[in-house]
Amino acid sequence: MKTNYSCLCLPLALATAMLLAAGCGQSKSDSGKADQTSGTSQDAASELQKAATTAAGEVQKAAETVKTTTEKAVADATKQVESATASATAKAQAVIDQAKALVSDKKYQEAMSALQGLAGMALTPEQQKLVDDLKATIQTALTGQATKQGTSALGNLLGGEKK
């Protein structure tokens, strides 16, 4: 029995060709998809890098703004404190000068009252020394006045009996 292989070859060749065509077409589309996916991943990574760079720049700008604002606020606060201190020092000095004038006029009680007005104020070391010296001078003068008045009163009392 002779078999006719030519009848079988044709359908077998067609089936093989179809399988090859189907396989090649699939690999081409998968390959294209892989290339497309690879390109998309690279684009996404590039976009993320750009976004990160932009965000870092914005954070740096914000930090600079905060730094500048803070430095300005500190400078303003320092100026205000210095101004308030200078004003308080000037007021205290005016009271000290007034007390000196009252001591010179021998108005010791008024001078002591003026110095007591400095109790709540912050004084410089020089001003504090002046106030302490003035208080000591006033105390000495008041003690001297009291002694003189006591002696005078006693003398008048004794002198009044001599008539």
Domain-embedded: residue 89:
yes
The string of pLDDT tens digits covering residues 64-119 is 999 999 999 999 889 888 888 888 888 888 888 998 999 899 888 998 888 888 88
Q: Are 138 and 111 in contact (CB under 8 A)?
A: yes
Tell me the pTM. 0.48
The string of pLDDT tens digits covering residues 12-70 is 666 666 666 555 554 445 555 555 566 688 888 888 888 888 888 888 888 899 999 99
Q: Which of 74, 73, 114 is nearest to 92 (CA)?
A: 114
- Cα(first)–Cα(last) distance of the chain, in Å? 189
Domain-embedded: residue 32:
no
Q: How many domains does the chain have?
A: 1
3-state secondary structure of 117: coil
Please name the helix (run of DSSP H) or strand (run of DSSP E) that holds residue 41, with its range, or none: helix 5-104
Domain-embedded: residue 157:
yes
